[in-house]
């Protein structure tokens, strides 16, 4: 198949999933065209069979790689549309798949209006903030809702997000749920990384807590800082911060005010977090909302238990008291207590870690990517415009899906 993939270039889950999906599909023999504003931050190992199309050269892209740029100008949107049109005219596309609604659903809808029956089958994947933030914008929300209804198939990465998107965008049917996936060859379990200094082998070093994010407000990293301080009141732990973004300065200020700078290590944005994850003992995520949380899945694949807020799609990824712990958003004491319990008990830690590895293997690329392939083939074989999840919207009343 000839597949076009649209995604953002910033450091975030939607771009990671899109580029990983593009790479895997290329390895499976499909011809992929990747469309983005600029080269994705994640210096991804571009597979043979992928043709990139960017509207802003990397040397001219001055935006912070952690910033999600959705306020595209009319000129930028037209430039992306023109690039897609050129590929359709010169090479042809069977499928056009956009990751993240804003602005790609709008570009795709304009393209479909222009091409009519000549339009490739259109697939859209919703990832989280395109629903909970852009979807609630009184101006942009209705525009996105109208554009999304023009897709031949919509997918989301969790059941929670499927219900939320259906409610917020007033969709005619629930999107199909296809979870995020992990490259198990890059994020491996304990046999390849545990050493004599690991937690389970006598705790010869401080327990190491890691947080990975783009430090946007929705990740609430200031909460993470306060929970780490509560943990340190009970055990001598250290914190590794992987990522960067607009909230980083506030996080650093918290640690400076409380004299904890020597216990925190800043790694910045990292294109390959696997080697760092394999040196950690616990992933701490404190998001206000997560549609899925790819970082949690990658940590579990490495044998790292997860401590995270009980929000959004996280309970579909992390099994409470089996692969990690989920705590109420504002309950710092509960989060610290779970962390101390886990990091102070090697036998319990080992059991949780093994559960995490086993659970993560259900989300390997070999299991998930063929679901996308099947969806594409079904669309090409059928005339029906919408592929839906076989769930009732009655299962998602407004009181339960609002964040």
35-44 pLDDT, tens digit per residue, is 999 887 655 5
* pLDDT score of 322: 96
Report the mean per-residue pLDDT for the chain: 88
Provide the whole-model pTM. Answer: 0.87
Mean pLDDT, to the nearest integer, of 295-299? 96
Mean pLDDT, to the nearest integer, of 381-400? 44
Give yes or no for residue 26 having a pLDDT over 50.
yes
Give yes or no for residue 230 having a pLDDT over 90.
yes
If one compares 386 and 253, the residue with the highest pLDDT of the two is 253
Mean pLDDT, to the nearest integer, of 117-135? 93
Confidence of residue 129 (pLDDT cuts 50, 70, 90): confident
Residue 120 Cα distances to 17, 33, 55, 85, 385, angstroms: 21, 13, 21, 11, 12
Give yes or no for residue 249 having a pLDDT over 80.
yes
Give yes or no for residue 296 having a pLDDT over 60.
yes
In order of their start, the domains of the chain are 2-181+365-401 (3.40.50.2000), 190-362 (3.40.50.2000)
In the chain, % of residues over pLDDT 70: 87
Give yes or no for residue 161 having a pLDDT over 50.
yes
* pLDDT score of 173: 94
334-357 pLDDT, tens digit per residue, is 999 999 999 999 999 999 999 999
Output phi, psi for 98, to 5 deg: -105, 140
Confidence of residue 60 (pLDDT cuts 50, 70, 90): low
């Amino acid at each position: 198949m000839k597949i076009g993939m649209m995604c953002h270039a910033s450091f975030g889950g939607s771009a990671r999933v899109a580029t990983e999906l593009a790479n895997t599909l290329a390895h499976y023999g499909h011809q992929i065209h990747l469309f983005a504003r600029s080269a994705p931050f994640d210096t991804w190992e571009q597979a043979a069979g992928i043709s990139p199309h960017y509207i802003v050269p990397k040397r001219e892209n001055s935006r912070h790689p952690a910033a999600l740029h959705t306020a595209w100008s009319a000129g930028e949107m037209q430039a992306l549309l023109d690039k897609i049109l050129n590929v359709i005219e010169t090479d042809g596309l069977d499928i056009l798949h956009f990751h993240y609604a804003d602005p790609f659903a709008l570009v795709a809808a304009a393209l479909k209006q222009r091409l009519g029956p000549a339009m490739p089958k259109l697939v859209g994947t919703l990832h989280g903030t395109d629903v909970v933030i852009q979807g609630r914008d009184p101006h942009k929300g209705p525009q996105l809702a109208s554009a999304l209804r023009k897709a031949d198939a919509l997918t989301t990465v969790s059941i929670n997000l499927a219900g939320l998107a259906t409610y917020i965008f007033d969709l005619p049917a629930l999107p199909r749920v296809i979870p995020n996936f992990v490259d198990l060859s890059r994020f491996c379990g304990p046999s390849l990384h545990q050493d004599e200094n690991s937690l389970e082998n006598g705790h010869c070093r401080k327990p190491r807590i890691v947080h990975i994010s783009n430090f946007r407000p929705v990740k609430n990293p200031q909460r993470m800082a306060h929970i780490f301080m509560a943990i340190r009141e009970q055990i001598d732990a250290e914190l590794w911060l992987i990522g960067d973004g607009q909230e980083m300065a506030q996080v650093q200020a918290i640690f400076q005010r409380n004299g904890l700078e020597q216990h925190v290590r800043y790694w910045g944005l990292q294109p390959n977090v696997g080697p760092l994850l394999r040196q950690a003992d616990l992933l701490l995520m404190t998001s206000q909302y997560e549609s899925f949380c790819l970082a949690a899945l990658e940590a579990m694949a490495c044998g790292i238990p997860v401590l995270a807020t009980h929000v959004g799609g996280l309970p579909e990824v992390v099994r409470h008291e089996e692969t990690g712990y989920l705590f109420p958003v504002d309950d710092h004491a509960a989060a610290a207590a779970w962390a101390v319990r886990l990091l102070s008990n090697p036998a319990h830690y080992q059991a949780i870690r093994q559960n995490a590895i086993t659970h993560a293997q259900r989300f390997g690329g070999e299991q998930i990517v063929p679901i996308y392939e099947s969806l594409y083939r079904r669309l090409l074989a059928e005339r029906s415009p919408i592929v839906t999840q076989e769930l009732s919207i009655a299962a998602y009343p407004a009181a339960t899906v609002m964040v």
